Structure 1
Amino acid sequence: MPMKTTKIMHHLQCISPIDNSVYVERALAGEVEIRVVLDRASKAQKAWRRTPLNERIAIVERAVEIFAVKKERLGRELCWMMGRPIRYAGGEINGFMDRAQTMAQLATEALADIQLPEKPGFTRFIRREPLGVSLVIAPWNYPYLTAVNAVVPALLSGNAVILKHSAQTPLCAERMVEIFREAGLPYGVFQFLHLNHAYTQRLACAGEIQHVAFTGSVGAGANLERTVAGRFIQVGLELGGKDPAYVRADADISQAVAAVVDGAYFNSGQSCCGIERAYVHEDIFSEFISQTVDLLRDYRLGRPDQVETTLGPLVRAEAADRVRAQVDEAIAEGAKVHLDVSEFPMDKRGTQYMAPQLLTRVRHHMRVMREETFGPVLGVQKVHDDGEALEFMNNSPFGLTAAIFTRDEDVAMEMGGYLEAGTVFLNRCDYLDPELAWTGVKQSGRGCTLSKIGFENLTRPKSFHFKHDG
């Protein structure tokens, strides 16, 4: 990676969606800083890979304990950086701790040598070796939960990690590195860099980088693949989603409504695996809509730093305007809205504060039913049977998760076999179990994080084939 001596003087600004104030400002790293971090990571990783696994696990477990102590502060920063209501902000820290702890528990078995059947005169086994230096590029919408999926397994596997976080959530990268250092992680094994897009791409091309984990848009993921093409390194991509839910006629309607609404509107709909479209059997359609509207009217749109708020702003006014444009277009094409935005006084066009909305009379060709929305909007379409629902659910360029609500587990299992999704839920949605593989199909990405399988993407196999003398 060629390096010049010119230093980048541009700055990063985190504009809080609460009041558009500058919450964090940092200098962006340039070529000199990148080279220093790469050299440090490469040297530190050589010692870290030889550190016994039980010591690596112990450091992760100590880091989890420190996160618990600092949860309130971290949650408050999260609220101001990306707009998560303060009443929910600590939940992300709990999720971070759960995933980190689970990966620490899985590491011993996941990273153990693979023993083969005994063969006279030979010793044979497969060892999992770390890749080297991992670059983790994390987004703002779940800044701790998305980062932990790659950072902790990479560290446990013996890799060094460089974390490049979103400009919207720079403190998350800083706090993670600080806490792991406080937990005893050797200097240089885990570092962060605040970078612009151009230098992020250059970093991904550095010879020291042997793994990239990226969470973000389909377009950005495609650009990253083109950037590292020909380097033959591991690249994990978690990209967009347009996750569907199907509510069968035999479902517990109240339970389905509660789950779908939470899955669609939590975090103001800014979730890769949130429910963005729902298909409801015609026999229960009217009741489902009625209960959904009643539940949505209980939401409180407001400043996320106020404890009574249950629905915060979108990350930026431009993001809210894009969501509103989808809704306006759907209405123009015949969709029906079910909520009067005047019931939510904070909703104002041209701002990041947007009321929740429910749409019916939608059709599958509408953008709101086929393109990622990433906002507090749900389109609900009536279906006649399981076959029609399955056809609609699969008719998407995305495939991260899909949810079925029914009392008939056999039917759900059969449908799940045909669903084109990385995770199939029954009677729940928008949840990540760290013992299960987190993966997507189609434009939702490739690769796998979490579970024991996730470690395979952070290690390379080395075979040992020893023939004994005599």
Structure 2
Amino acid sequence: MITYDRLFIGGSWVEPSDRELLDIVSPHDRSVIGRAAQAAPADVDRAVAAARASFDAGSWRLTPPAERIAVLRRFNALREENAEKAARLLARENGSAGWFTSAGQAGLSRQANAYLKAAEDFGWEETLVPSDPASTTRSVVRREAVGVVAAVIPWNSPYSSATSKIIPALLAGNSVVLKVSPENSLTMGFLAELLERVGLPEGVISVLPADRETSEYLVSHKDVDKIAFTGSTGAGRRIAAIAGEQLKRVSLELGGKSAVIILPDADVGKAVAGLKFGSLLNNGESCIAQTRILAPREKYEEVVTALKELVESLKVGDPDDPDTFIGPMIRPDQQERVRDYIQVGIDEGARLVTGGPGIPEGLEKGNYVTPTVFADVDNSMRIAREEVFGPVLVIIAYDDTDDAVRIANDSEYGLSGGVWSSDETHALQVARRIRTGTITVNGASIAFDGPFGGFKASGIGREYGTVGLGAYTEYKTITV
């Protein structure tokens, strides 16, 4: 059993203000796999004070960018060395299938490397050429660190969410308090161990597992300059209100109900095979999952049949089993939430193609749900409008391309999406019309050099690459 009885504050492991440890429970069989200390407001005060002191002293922010890049490059290499251990631990703690946690570690390297390249090419300080040739002044434009960053991340993909925030924040010279979910106390404790080894100055980084109330205390703290949040749209609205009241800088990566359009000329077999990853990654507990499948009426039943066969072929079970594609939900309440949504779909009159609210046979001890597909779904139904956050897919028929675009855009969300077509030019034309922050064509992977984030209720701001790095800086103009 893994135990973290101390908290990582300011680069050191210290006694928590509350000595009671939280049991970390396996989603697979609900056995206790570890115990960990949880942060309280008093611990937040210590972490923020350490971050404030380090930032004001300039121990990290005044370090030349090249040296900061070197430290973060060492951290990325250290994380790569420990990728297998991290993947196994996350699978046990989160219930994510081993294939997903292993693939995710490779993705972290791409994500971090994109930030490191952006930092090498970043315009940290530039002298502008005056627009007026007769001008006797010049302007020096600097990109400086924002200050103390409260980075708040969810449980579903903690390594990715942490990387998308702490890497650019630290590259820019900020001090960071990373607030992680209690469910991820073990994996994020391991992350803290790696951070301890890379040589950051005292006070620059803290990693605090804590509940929602303590999280709100952190983002409301007077000495926090920027909030970087990934999580639900409801929580994002609350954080935006706090940030607005206190005039804090804020970036929000929130929920989604993404649509994928299978165009009439698409190869249905290839498209549905791609949805295995685009729609069902991480047990469906993914904000970017393409859970609304838009199919042309002339190929509707072909898509329904192919998707039914795909979903029924996927093994549900122990995340440690290499043949498992879909594992359990993170907690019993999340399991019940997904099962309730499946019942809602039945009650709304959608056609149950496969699955249902029952628990898979032989997996009753864990937080399992049966992967489910609904057909004959109207976009006004709750299962088509609300984020289920589980392996539940809906298939919606459309008449023509304009109708498909209309349905795809008829959502309060706009985080991700997809288009499948044998004509790439046409697919790009359709993709440009979708109101969403990221959209893939023919199952392409998300590129970490480009900005990632949401339209509408899916968030504010962008992460990844140069744009994501810039979100952790302030402009300063010095006129000489």
Q: Tell me by how many angstroms 1:41 deviates.
A: 1.4
For 2:31 and 2:123, the matched residues in 1 are separated by 46
The residue number in structure 2 matching 1:451 is: 465
User: How far has the Cα of 1:320 moved from its partner?
Assistant: 2.0
Query: For 1:95-147, what per-residue CA distance to the aligned partner results, in whole angstroms no more than 9, with x for missing partners?
Result: 11221121011112234324322455322121001011111111111110111
What displacement does 1:166 show?
0.8
Instruction: Specify every segment of 5 or more residues in structure 2 that has no aligned partner in the other structure, as ranges.
Output: 1-15
Contact 2:129 2:138 in 1 (8 A): no
Q: Does 1:100 align with 2:116?
A: no
Equivalent residue for 2:453, pick from 407, 420, 439: 439
Match of 2:5 in 1: none
Report the secondary structure of 2:59's partner residue: helix
| Residues 5-404 of structure 1: pairs in structure 2 closer than 5 A | 7-8=17-18, 11-45=21-55, 46-118=58-130, 120-339=135-354, 344-346=360-362, 348=364, 352-404=367-419
- In structure 2, the residue matched to 1:462 is 476
Q: Structure 2: how far apart are the matches of 1:441 and 1:340?
A: 32
Deviations 1:206-232 (A, max 9, x none): 232111111111111112222333221
2:319 counterpart SS class:
coil
4+ aligned runs moved over 6 Å, structure 1: none
Using the TM superposition, give the Cα deviation of residue 7 of structure 1 relative to its aligned residue in structure 2, in angstroms.
4.6
Shift of 1:191: 1.1
Q: Deviations over 1:248-306 (max 9, x none)?
A: 11012222111123211121100000011111112222222222222222211111122
Distance in 2 (CA, whole Å) between partners of 1:335 and 1:54 is 57
Query: What secondary structure sits across from 2:113 in the alignment?
Result: helix
Equivalents in 1 of 2:447, 2:248: separation in Å? 27
- Secondary structure, counterpart of 1:303 in structure 2: coil
| 1:398-417 → structure 2 map (5 Å cutoff) | 398-417=413-432
8 A Cα contact 1:16 1:81, kept in partner: yes
User: 1:338 is paired with a residue of what secondary structure?
Assistant: strand
Structure 1 range deviating more: 75-84 or 420-429 = 420-429
Query: SS in structure 1 opposite 2:129?
Result: coil
**Counterpart-to-counterpart distance in 2, 1:48 and 1:80:** 35
Query: Please, which moves more after superposition, 32-41 or 262-271?
Result: 32-41
Q: Distance in 2 between matches of 1:97 and 1:12?
A: 31
Q: Which amino acid aligns with 2:462?
A: C
Residues 103-112 or 339-348, more deviating: 339-348
Counterpart AA for 1:224: I
CA contact (8 A) 1:369 1:379 kept: yes
| Separation (CA, whole Å) in 2 of partners of 1:240 and 1:435 | 22
- Residue 17 of structure 1 aligns to which amino acid in structure 2? P
Q: Is the CA contact 2:317–2:327 (under 8 Å) kept in the aligned structure 1?
A: yes
Contact kept, 8 Å, 2:259 with 2:293, in 1: the verdict is yes
* Counterparts of 1:454 and 1:50, CA distance in 2: 21
Q: Distance in 1 between matches of 2:161 and 2:209?
A: 17
Letter in structure 1 aligned against 2:157: Y
**Letter aligned with residue 29 of structure 1:** A
CA contact (8 A) 1:357 1:377 kept: yes
Give 1:344 shift. Answer: 4.9
Q: Distance in 1 between matches of 2:333 and 2:42?
A: 34
SS at match of 2:450: coil
Q: What amino acid is aligned across from residue 360 of structure 1 in structure 2? A: A
SS in 1 for 2:303: helix
* Cα shift readout 1:29-75 (whole Å, capped 9, x = no counterpart): 23432222222212223210111111111111111111121112111
**Counterparts of 1:351 and 1:307, CA distance in 2:** 18
Secondary structure of 2:393's match? strand
Unaligned runs of 5+ in 1: 1-5
Q: C-alpha distance in 1, partners of 2:355/2:207?
A: 44
CA distance in structure 2 between the aligned counterparts of 1:321 and 1:454, rounded to whole angstroms:
36
| Greater displacement, 155-164 / 336-345 | 336-345
Three-state SS of the structure 1 residue aligned to 2:329 is coil
Shift of 1:9: 5.6
Contact 1:313–1:353 at 8 Å: present in 2 too? yes
Q: How far does the alpha carbon of each residue in 1:411-452 deviate from its partner, in whole angstroms, 9 at most, with x for none?
A: 3333233211111221126x4321010110111010111121
Contact 2:359-2:368 within 8 A present in 1 as well: no
CA RMSD of aligned residues (A): 2.1
What TM-score, normalized by structure 2, do the two folds share?
0.91
Partner of 1:3: none
Q: 1:10 to 1:442 in 2, by over 3 A?
A: farther
Identity %: 29
Residues 231 and 254, structure 2, Cα contact 8 Å, conserved in 1: yes
Paired residue secondary structure (1:125): strand
Q: SS of the residue aligned with 2:91? A: helix
